[in-house]
């Protein structure tokens, strides 16, 4: 079957139609004519003039990146358009700034699948839309500190069986978290120090429990050192975190009291507290404990109040929100609908929304706009280069 690719969808696949049926074809480009054969990669019959040679040797088979084969100019235009289209679908048309490149030195965290293939333990990513492992020996989009991540993951497989391995490059070493079947992993936990010392790791945890440690990994945020919880969430790149934080700080301006909602381990709260009183709220008890430790060890911060609270079910209400000059929220992919509705009823002067999903952001932005807020700035940030994932920072002010 031959198809003509019409556009690139929100997942990074080429979109086409044939006899009334839609098709999503990975690693194709608009205008290309491709031939599909069951069980095989699409054959490019007529390549696009915008097609370039991918720099990664695994790109053809690996499902990790989606768009290395597109010229940077066309890729950047498409990625900014993801946000524009999501807002257009809600009937709102703010001025969207140019896309900010925040890849920096590369991604500082990676999650790898580990399976036994041809008698050897291999680590890698799944091929696009399959459960077939594409083994790799290196990943060129990672920071240099993660060069050995595939080898580390494979070594964990040799001990714990089929597993998923998350490796994070902290400031003082690698933090490795393994998720494996307990019945197969538990009998071998005593051998975890072998992997720890072989690769000079800071910490190795298995199924959320500490298995071996030489020292506690930490990352620096602002002037504070934050001890990382096991399997902690960090922004994908150090430059991405810095760019998002810069936009947040610009957004709150001279606010003296700020609420940082869905604060995590504090990438915004710790920087905000250098100039304002901060109330930081999140449901993750481990993240909040790390933030508390970071605050305790930091110098020169203004008072920070911490609250463990599920903002999906119990958002801050207008009576609580009136205490703040500005509110920052950075929810997971699902967005912050309940909190946005409470903010829409509040008198808070400035709201800064940080989002990792254009669709949920557009919904939350619509709620704020209907509640009387106007867009001041909307900035797309690209720390997940060559993928369809996009960050957004938007500043809203009371009209």
Residue 69 has pLDDT above 80, yes or no: yes
**Which pLDDT does position 38 carry in this prediction?**
82
Q: Which residues, 6+ apart, have CB-to-CB distance to 225 below 8 Å?
A: 171, 218, 219, 294, 297, 298
Decide: helix, strand or coil at residue 370. Answer: helix
DSSP 164: E
CA distance 189 to 183: 11
Give the tens place of pLDDT for each residue, 7-65: 999 999 999 999 999 999 999 999 999 999 886 788 999 999 999 999 999 999 999 99
Residue 229 has pLDDT above 90, yes or no: yes
Instruction: Report angle CA 383, 306, 363 to the nearest 5 degrees.
Output: 45
Structure tokens at 274: 């250098």
How do beta strands 14-18 and 7-8 pair?
antiparallel
- By annotation, the residues acting in catalysis are 356
Share of the chain above pLDDT 70, in %: 100
Q: Of 9, 84, 102, 91, give the one whose Cα is nearest residue 394.
A: 84
**Which pLDDT does position 66 carry in this prediction?**
96
Residue with tokens 């599909």: 36
Q: Average the pLDDT over 132-150 and give the result.
A: 97
Q: Which residues, 6+ apart, have CB-to-CB distance to 144 below 8 Å?
A: 105, 106
Give the tens place of pLDDT for each residue, 366-378: 999 999 999 999 9
**Which pLDDT does position 255 carry in this prediction?**
98
Residue 219 bridge partners (DSSP) = 226
Structure tokens at 69: 């084969």
Q: Average the pLDDT over 93-118 and give the result.
A: 97
Give the tens place of pLDDT for each residue, 175-214: 999 999 999 999 999 999 999 999 999 999 999 999 999 9
DSSP 187: G
**Residue 164 binned pLDDT confidence (cut-offs 50, 70, 90):** very high
**Which pLDDT does position 41 carry in this prediction?**
81
Residue 129 has pLDDT above 80, yes or no: no
**Which pLDDT does position 231 carry in this prediction?**
84
Size (the chain), residues: 399
Could you please report the per-residue DSSP string of 313-368? TSPPPHHHHTT-SEEEE---TT--HHHHHHHHTS--SEEEEEES-HHHHHHHHHHH
**Which pLDDT does position 366 carry in this prediction?**
98
**Which pLDDT does position 114 carry in this prediction?**
98
Decide: helix, strand or coil at residue 241. Answer: helix
**Residue 130 binned pLDDT confidence (cut-offs 50, 70, 90):** confident
Q: What is the pTM of this model?
A: 0.96
What is the Cα 176 distance to its own chain's centre? Answer: 18
Phi-psi region of 314 (alpha: psi -120 to 50; beta: other; left: phi over 0): beta
Decide: helix, strand or coil at residue 398. Answer: strand
**Which pLDDT does position 399 carry in this prediction?**
80
Q: Of 239, 234, 235, give the one whose Cα is nearest residue 104.
A: 239
Share of the chain above pLDDT 90, in %: 96
**Which pLDDT does position 140 carry in this prediction?**
97
Average pLDDT, the chain: 97
Residue 167 bridge partners (DSSP) = 110, 176
| Orientation angle between helical segments 358-370 and 72-88, nearest 10 degrees | 40
**Residue 353 binned pLDDT confidence (cut-offs 50, 70, 90):** very high
**Which pLDDT does position 296 carry in this prediction?**
97
Give the tens place of pLDDT for each residue, 295-352: 999 999 999 999 999 999 999 999 999 999 999 999 999 999 999 999 999 999 999 9
Structure tokens at 372: 């009387």
Instruction: Report angle CA 240, 245, 249 to the nearest 5 degrees.
Output: 155
Q: What are the C-alpha distances in Å from 151 to residues 34, 124, 202, 203, 230?
A: 36, 10, 16, 16, 20
Dihedral sign, Cα of residue 278, residue 272, residue 173, residue 333:
positive
**Which pLDDT does position 40 carry in this prediction?**
79
Which helix (H) or strand (E) segment holds residue 86: the answer is helix 72-88
Dihedral sign, Cα of residue 363, residue 368, residue 370, residue 373:
negative
CA distance 14 to 25: 5
Question: What is the per-residue burial (b if ≥16 Cβ within 10 Å, else e) of 101-117?
Answer: ebbbebbbbbbbbbbee
CA-based max dimension of the chain: 66
Distance between the two ends of the chain, CA-based, in angstroms?
55
């Amino acid at each position: 079957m031959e198809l003509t690719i019409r556009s690139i969808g929100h997942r990074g696949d080429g979109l086409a139609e044939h006899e009334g049926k839609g098709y999503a074809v990975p690693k194709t480009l608009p205008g290309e004519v491709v031939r599909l054969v069951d069980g095989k990669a699409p054959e490019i019959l007529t390549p696009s003039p915008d097609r370039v040679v991918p720099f990664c040797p695994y790109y053809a088979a690996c499902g990790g990146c989606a768009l290395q084969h597109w010229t940077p100019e066309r890729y950047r235009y498409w990625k900014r358009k993801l946000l524009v289209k999501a807002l257009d679908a809600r009937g709102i048309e703010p001025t969207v700034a140019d896309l900010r490149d925040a890849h920096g030195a590369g991604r500082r965290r990676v999650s790898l699948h580990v399976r036994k293939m041809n008698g050897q333990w291999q680590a890698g990513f799944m091929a696009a839309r399959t459960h077939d492992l594409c083994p790799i020996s290196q990943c060129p989009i990672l920071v240099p500190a993660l060069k050995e991540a595939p080898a580390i993951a494979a070594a964990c497989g040799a001990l714990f069986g089929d597993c998923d391995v998350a490796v994070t490059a902290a400031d003082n070493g690698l933090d490795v978290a393994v998720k494996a079947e307990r019945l197969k992993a538990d009998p071998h936990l005593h051998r975890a120090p072998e992997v720890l010392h072989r690769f000079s790791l800071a910490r190795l945890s298995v199924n959320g429990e500490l298995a071996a440690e030489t020292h506690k990994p930490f990352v620096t945020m602002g002037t504070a050192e934050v001890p990382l919880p096991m399997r902690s969430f960090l922004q994908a790149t150090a430059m991405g975190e810095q760019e998002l934080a810069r936009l947040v700080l610009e957004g709150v301006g001279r606010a003296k009291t700020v609420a940082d909602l869905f604060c995590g381990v504090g990438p915004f709260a710790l920087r905000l507290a250098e100039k304002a009183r901060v109330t930081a709220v999140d449901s993750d008890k481990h993240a909040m404990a790390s933030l508390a430790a970071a605050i305790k060890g930091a110098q020169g911060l203004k008072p920070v109040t911490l609250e463990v609270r599920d903002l999906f079910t119990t958002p801050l209400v207008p009576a609580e929100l009136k205490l703040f000059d500005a509110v920052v929220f950075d929810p997971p992919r699902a967005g912050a609908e309940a909190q946005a509705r409470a903010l829409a009823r509040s008198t808070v002067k400035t709201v800064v929304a940080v989002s990792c999903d254009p669709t949920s952001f557009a919904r939350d932005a619509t709620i704020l706009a209907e509640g009387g807020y106007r867009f001041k700035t909307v900035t797309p940030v690209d720390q997940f280069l060559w993928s369809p994932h996009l960050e957004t920072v938007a500043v809203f002010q009371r009209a």
